[in-house]
């Protein structure tokens, strides 16, 4: 009985060993399937392929104005803050006006005094004109002539004739003096007129300084910066020029621009009014439309690299883009719709510069299948493939 059981165990053991050997032999003939990290697989997409160059810069308003005061003084009132929207003529700030109002009152009084002096000088001139005409000279002459005739006829005493003659001579002398004073009176009128003009000019200057103490917006826009507070001293731009105190900065941000640099290898393909797409860090999923509005005619060299300045203007009706945001302006050089697109890193080249990509193929022992492709346009990160792949294929990226 024991012998029969031992025989059966021997047969089962031999069968198990044979099956194990066969399984081992089959596994040695069929290698394990290759696997790839998901990050190394990219799907062939069908989309519009865009060839472009990127100019990086800061968002700037089309128009920006630094506000400085024409008057010296102390800030008494501030009517706006950063971010406020203003229109041309709006009051932004006011200086202390007490001394300026006193100067206006003093200048007004000086004008009134000068005008009164002018009226007096004109009255004196009119009086001298009348005296210069000598209205009593003719009367005195006739009286002296009548006295002379009567004295000749012995009808009056000689003394009466002498008195009449003396009166005539005095009248002539007064006329001569009045004629001499006429020029002096005319000069005094001119002098008084000049003093009136000077007093009025001083009043206008005082009025202007008083008006300058109210700082108004020269343009419509947004308050970008406010550089002073109530109580801050302000120096006049008329006295210090560019070194005068900066009160605030205004900018019209309804239309902004990005000023960036393009390499000399690409600048020849950038054209005026060329479309551009602008991206900023704040709006990661949004693109803003723009257009090229300026291409510098002269390049700038730095570290042996020559670049050209390009300005891309952007409509900003919602004021979403803020001044000094860092932006990338992607200038569109060429667009091809319905293109098959892969990452440029997936494309390899042989010694003859023939292009290939490795497709993920689970039916292949290595999990990949190399296919030749024809490359179209690229933008440095993605490339268009004209043939060799189809939409949905998965290409293998280098590790």
pLDDT at 20 over 60: no
Average pLDDT over residues 221-243: 91
CATH number of the domain where residue 356 is located = 2.40.420.20
Average pLDDT over residues 103-118: 94
CATH number of the domain where residue 286 is located = 2.40.30.170
Domain count, the chain: 3
Same domain for 391 and 378?
yes
Q: If pLDDT is split at 50, 70 and 90, which confidence band does 62 have?
A: confident
Same domain for 124 and 185?
yes
Q: What are the distances in angstroms from CA 258 to CA 54, 203, 221, 299?
A: 11, 48, 18, 17
Structural domain of 187: 97-210
- Poorest-pLDDT segment among 141-145, 209-213, 265-269, 323-327: 141-145
Q: What are the distances in angstroms from CA 199 to CA 99, 186, 238, 260?
A: 18, 20, 22, 55
pLDDT digits (tens, 9 = 90+) for 123-169: 887 777 766 565 665 555 665 566 566 656 666 666 665 676 666 66
In a domain, 353, yes or no: yes
For the chain, how many residues are written? 399
In a domain, 84, yes or no: no
Sequence-distant (6+) residues with CB within 8 A of 296 are 308, 309, 310
Nearest-angstrom CA–CA distance, 327 and 290: 12
In a domain, 218, yes or no: no
User: What's the pLDDT at 7?
Assistant: 46
pLDDT at 18 over 60: no
Q: If pLDDT is split at 50, 70 and 90, which confidence band does 232 have?
A: very high
Same domain for 166 and 194?
yes
Average pLDDT over residues 55-71: 90
254/49: higher pLDDT:
49
């Amino acid at each position: 009985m024991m012998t029969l059981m031992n025989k059966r165990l021997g047969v089962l053991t031999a069968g198990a060993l044979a099956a194990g050997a066969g399984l081992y032999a089959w596994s040695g003939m069929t290698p394990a399937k290759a696997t790839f990290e998901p990050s190394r697989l990219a799907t062939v997409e069908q989309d519009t392929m865009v060839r472009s160059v990127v100019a990086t810069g800061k968002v700037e308003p089309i128009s920006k104005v630094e506000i400085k005061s024409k008057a010296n003084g102390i800030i008494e009132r501030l009517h706006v803050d950063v971010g406020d929207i203003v229109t041309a003529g709006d009051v932004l700030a006011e200086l202390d006006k007490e001394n300026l109002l006193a100067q206006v009152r003093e200048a007004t009084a000086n004008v009134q005094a000068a005008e009164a002096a002018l009226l007096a000088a004109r009255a004196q001139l009119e009086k001298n004109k009348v005296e210069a005409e000598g209205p009593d000279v003719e009367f005195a002459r006739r009286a002296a002539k009548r006295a002379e005739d009567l004295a000749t006829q012995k009808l009056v005493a000689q003394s009466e004739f002498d008195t009449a003659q003396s009166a005539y001579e005095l009248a002539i002398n007064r006329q001569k003096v009045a004629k001499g004073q006429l020029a002096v009176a005319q000069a005094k009128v001119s002098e008084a007129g000049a003093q009136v003009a000077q007093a009025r000019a001083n009043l206008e200057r005082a009025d202007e300084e008083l008006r300058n103490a109210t700082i108004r917006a020269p343009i419509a826009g947004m308050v970008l910066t406010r550089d002073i507070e109530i109580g801050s001293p302000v120096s006049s731009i008329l006295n210090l020029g560019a070194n005068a105190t900066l009160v605030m900065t205004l900018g019209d941000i309804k239309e902004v621009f990005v000023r960036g640099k393009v390499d000399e290898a690409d600048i020849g393909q950038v054209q005026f009014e060329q479309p551009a797409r602008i991206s900023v860090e704040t709006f990661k999923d949004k693109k803003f439309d723009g257009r090229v509005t300026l291409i510098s005619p002269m390049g700038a060299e730095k570290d042996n690299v020559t670049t050209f300045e390009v300005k891309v203007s952007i409509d900003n009706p919602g004021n979403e883009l803020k001044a000094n945001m860092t932006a990338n302006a992607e200038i569109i050089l060429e667009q091809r719709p319905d293109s098959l697109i892969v990452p440029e890193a997936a494309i390899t080249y042989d010694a003859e510069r023939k292009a290939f990509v490795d497709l993920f193929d689970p039916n292949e022992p290595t999990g990949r299948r190399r296919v030749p492709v024809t490359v179209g346009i690229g933008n440095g990160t993605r490339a268009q493939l004209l043939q060799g792949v189809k939409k949905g294929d998965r290409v293998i990226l280098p590790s």
